[in-house]
A and B are shown apart, each in its own frame.
Chain A
Amino acid sequence: MSEPLLSLRDVVVEFPTRRGVLRALDGISLDVNAGEVLGLVGESGAGKSMIGSAIIGLIAPPGRIASGEIRLSGQRIDNLGPSQMRALRGKRIGMVFQDPLTSLNPLYTIADQLVETIRTHLPVTAAEARAQAIALLDRVGIPAAAQRIDDYPHHFSGGMRQRVVIALALCAQPDLVIADEPTTALDVSVQAQIIDLLKDICAERGAAVVLITHDMGVIAQTADRVAVVYAGRMAEIGPVSDVIHRPAHPYTRGLMGSIPSLREERARLVQIPGAMPRLDAISAGCAFHPRCDVATAACATTRPAMTHLVSAQKGEQSADRFAACLLLDHTAREGGEHGG
């Protein structure tokens, strides 16, 4: 198997505060292969966006990557200097933010912002950059791109602005795009269009996507693999259909139970009782155990490690399928029964 495009190993992100050090991310490990779409799910505050910030090196100070490593095509990028990191941003890793209404500088035209970004990364003249920008806007579905390019952001609707943001993220041909809740702030009617656009245009250009969302429906339709994050820790990772149909971690099961369309056989949606702990109040042992309906005494004291899952059907290790739960055999079996 070839080297993954992006690889995180035991990444820990810490925020020193007056009341002690907060761990926003605690031992995150995951791989993203070239051209694939990895979904990253979890509830608000779980650390999904923090993973995106860590990858692109934009953690807000005083936060920092305390340990672990991040590699892009095998090269470590978590310890690069500011100028080397800057050269990667936009050029090799593009980023799409949540709110297109605030992502664009209101005082500059779309052309200004596109041309500036293209010329930062590619050795082209202003005229060439402008031609590229118009072509790209055309591709992301801006009608009459050649005229609209000289408009200001406030002339566009939210959906159109997110198309512009996608164009900006892709304009220097990155290998990896991190999309942080790209449709959350949009009208429901345009969400699907934007997700499709993002997926298609990245597939066209061979760019891998890390799709951060709390919407399992979007993940189910879009992603190849999915990683579940809880309280800054990995809960589970694996191929989308596998994880959806046979969730191994109790938290994932709860998450699946809360999606209307996936569990038609159930009469009512399942709610996970309680709320995710604050970062300064994560209990010892498994972070999820206070809310877990199958937790044992050991869960309160022993922190589970990410372990290779044993497939219930074949009785063998399934490739690329990990979860962090002490009761893995139990839950895997349960999940298997549900799935079959």
Chain B
Amino acid sequence: MLAFILRRIFQSVIVMLTVALVSFALFRYVGDPVTSMVGQETSLEDRAALRDALGLNDPFFVQFARFLGNAVQGDFGISYRLQEPVMGLILSRLPATLELALISGALAFIFGVGFGVYTALRRRGIISNAIMTLSLIGVSLPTFLIGVLLIWIFAVELQILPSFGRGEVVALPGGWSTGLLTPSGRASLILPAITLGLYQMTLIMRLVRAEMLEVLRADYIRFARARGLSDRAVHFGHALKNTLVPVITITGLQLGSIIAFAIITETVFQWPGVGALFINSVRAVDVPVMAAYLMLIALVFVIINLIVDLLYYAVDPRLRVDRGAGASA
């Protein structure tokens, strides 16, 4: 168990180092940091002096090591566009993105698994066919279009939900700000959460359905039926648990995608999160923010991967090598 975790953590560090290398290359070689920091009128001597002061003439690995050292301390430099420390910019916007991503992820998982199981069990039913058809449209519908259409229906025509922003936000200790504690904050979350979660929901639903149909054909399900177990025990006790093993992996990885897809949703709803910050940085070629965002996303992916692996380990006894661990379930 410990060896397993250590090996996983080691792999994660390798991935992070690779991403850091890409991130550093981006930071260092896309555009000229000096040109981006000084005005037009700065003399060549001043530029050379600044170049030296920034250590841009040092050997590659020295620069990379410095970049890594700074990154570990949360220092990604100054944003070209906003002239503020990048880390502060990201941290102040992180709560908005995380709240949105977690709520959408939860919605996507709950409804995705629910609809997936339903359509697998009632394969030929009318409602199942309707859900499947809608899901195909859901997959084809670009996320931004879903958002725009939701705004049109619920904000413009019905005027029952806000179309932009986070609503009223409450500051919590530790620098966290939450919209979950105020009515306007919660109302503001609804449309973005649906927009962001819908695509993931259809993916999870289709996956659960396919897996469940596969599992329902398995011998142990036939044997469970042949022993006279109730449909409920067969479907939800035996089939669902086996279905969820692969679903957990994909869903975990989807959570990472959600944070990335938040870029689109945040733009549509002018949600003050990290994604909107990133897209503005891409537009303005604000390289330090792009590099930091890349590292942040990679970190989130790596952490989620780690959690998924551990979950997998907890759910599937076949992965547990030592026998004693299996006795309690």
Please give the residue numbers on chain A whose beta carbons come within 8 Å of chain B beta carbons, in ascending order: 56, 58, 82, 86-91, 94-95, 97, 99, 102-109, 112, 116-117, 120-121, 150-152, 154-155, 165, 168-169, 172
Q: A109-B329, A152-B317 are in contact. Are A89 and B226 (CB under 8 A)?
A: yes
Give the number of residue pairs across the A-B interface with Cβ within 8 Å: 92
- Distance (whole angstroms) from the CB of A86 to the closest CB of chain B: 5
C-alpha spacing A121/B323, complex, angstroms = 30
What residues on B are CB-neighbors of A151 within 8 Å? 323, 326-327
Q: Would you call B315 an interface residue if the criterion is a C-beta within 8 Å of the partner chain's C-beta atoms? A: yes
Check A105–B242 contact: CB distance below 8 A: yes
Q: Using known A-B contacts A88-B228, A107-B242, A155-B323, determine if residue A116 contacts B317 with beta carbons closer than 8 Å.
A: no
Q: Does B224 interact with chain A (Cβ within 8 Å)?
A: yes
Q: Are B233 and A116 touching (Cβ within 8 A)?
A: yes
Question: Which residue of chain B lies nearest to A105 when distances are taken between CB atoms in the complex?
Answer: B220
In the complex, A152 Cα to B317 Cα: how many Å?
7
B186 at the interface (CB under 8 A from A): no
Q: How far is the CB of A156 from chain B (nearest CB, A)?
A: 11
- Residue of B219, B229, B231, B245 near A116 (CB, 8 A) is B229
- Collect the chain A residues with CB atoms within 8 Å of residue B226's CB: 56, 58, 89-90, 94-95, 97, 169
Contact A95 B323 (CB under 8 A): no
When distances are taken between beta carbons in the complex, the residues of chain B under 8 Å from A105 are: 220, 224, 238, 242
Query: How many Å from the CB of A130 to the closest CB on chain B?
Result: 14
Task: Give the number of residues in B that approach A within 8 Å (Cβ atoms).
Answer: 27
Task: Tell me whether A103 and B223 are in contact in the complex, defined as CB-CB below 8 angstroms, given that A120-B228, A152-B317 are known contacts.
Answer: yes
> With a CB–CB cut-off of 8 A, which chain B residues contact A58?
222, 225-226
Q: Is B283 in contact with chain A by the CB < 8 A criterion?
A: no
With A107-B317, A150-B326 in contact, do A117 and B227 touch (Cβ < 8 Å)? yes
Tell me which residues across on chain A come within 8 A of B317, comparing CB atoms. 106-107, 109, 152, 154
Of the candidates B224, B227, B231, B323, the one having the most CB atoms from chain A within 10 angstroms of its own CB is B227
- Report the minimal beta-carbon distance from A22 to chain B, rounded to whole angstroms: 19
B243-256 CB mask vs A (1 if < 8 Å, else 0) is 00100000000000
Q: Smallest distance from the beta carbon of A15 to chain B beta carbons, Å? A: 16
Which residues from B are CB-within-8-Å of A152?
317-318, 326
What is the minimal beta-carbon distance from B203 to any residue of chain A, in angstroms? Answer: 24
Residues of A close to B242: CB separation below 8 A: 105-107
Q: Which residue of B is nearest A180, CB measured?
A: B226
Q: Digit string of B289-329 for contact with A (CB within 8 Å is 1, else 0)?
A: 00000000000000000000000000111100001001101
Residue of A nearest to B316 (CB): A107
Say if the beta carbon of B11 comes within 8 Å of chain A. Answer: no
Q: B residues within 8 A CB of A117?
A: 227-229
B127 is an interface residue with CB less than 8 A from chain A: no
Q: What is the minimal beta-carbon distance from A226 to any residue of chain B, in angstroms? A: 23
B183 close to A (CB within 8 Å): no
Complex Cα distance, B242 from A105, in Å, reads: 8
Note all chain B residues with C-beta closer than 8 A to A120. Answer: 227-230, 233
Q: Are B219 and A99 in contact (CB under 8 A)?
A: yes
State whether B238 touches A90 (Cβ < 8 A): no
Counting CB contacts under 8 A, is B69 at the interface? no
User: How far, in whole Å, are A86 and B224 apart by their CA atoms in the complex?
Assistant: 11
CB neighbours of A102 from chain B (8 A): 218-220
Please tell me which one of the listed residues B220, B228, B230, B326 contacts residue A103 in the complex, with CB atoms under 8 A apart: B220
**Chain A residues, Cβ within 8 Å of B222:** 58, 97
Given contacts A102-B218, A106-B317, A108-B241, 16 further A-B contacts (CB under 8 A): A82-B231, A90-B226, A90-B228, A91-B228, A94-B226, A95-B226, A102-B219, A102-B220, A103-B220, A106-B220, A107-B317, A108-B329, A120-B233, A150-B327, A154-B317, A169-B226
What 10 A-B pairs have minimum CB-CB distances, sorted nearest first?
Answer: A90-B228, A89-B228, A102-B219, A90-B227, A95-B226, A105-B220, A152-B317, A103-B223, A150-B327, A117-B227
Residues of A within 8 A of B315 (CB): 107
Give A296 to B195 CA distance when docked, in angstroms: 74
Interface presence of B237 (CB below 8 A)? yes
Chain B nearest CB from A304 CB (Å) reads 34
Quote the shortest CB–CB distance from A153 to chain B (angstroms).
9
Closest Cβ of chain B to A261, distance in Å, is 31
CA distance A90 to B228 in the complex (A): 5
Kindly supply a per-residue 1/0 record for chain B positions 261-303, scoring 1 wherever the CB is within 8 Å of any chain A CB and 0 otherwise.
Answer: 0000000000000000000000000000000000000000000
* CB-CB nearest in chain A for B219: A102
B228–A86 CB distance below 8 A: yes
CB-CB under 8 A from B225, the residues of chain A are 58, 89
Closest chain B CB from A6 CB (angstroms): 15
Q: Is the CB of B230 within 8 A of A86?
A: yes
User: What's the Cα separation between A3 and B15 when bound, in Å?
Assistant: 72
- B202-227, CB under 8 A of A: which get 1 and which 0? 00000000000000001110111111
Closest CB in chain A relative to B111 CB, distance in Å: 24
CB-defined contacts of A104 to chain B, threshold 8 Å: 220, 223
Q: Which residues of B contact A165 (CB under 8 A)?
A: 223
Give the contacting residue for B227; candidates A99, A106, A109, A169; CB below 8 A: A169
A292 to B323, CA, bound (A): 56
B224: chain A residues within 8 A (beta carbon): 105
List chain A residues, Cβ under 8 A from B229.
Answer: 86, 90, 116-117, 120
For residue A209, give the distance in angstroms from its CB to the closest CB of chain B: 15
CA distance A86 to B235 in the complex (A): 14
Q: Which residue of B lies closest to A155 (CB)?
A: B323
Shortest CB-to-CB span from A122 to chain B, Å, is 11
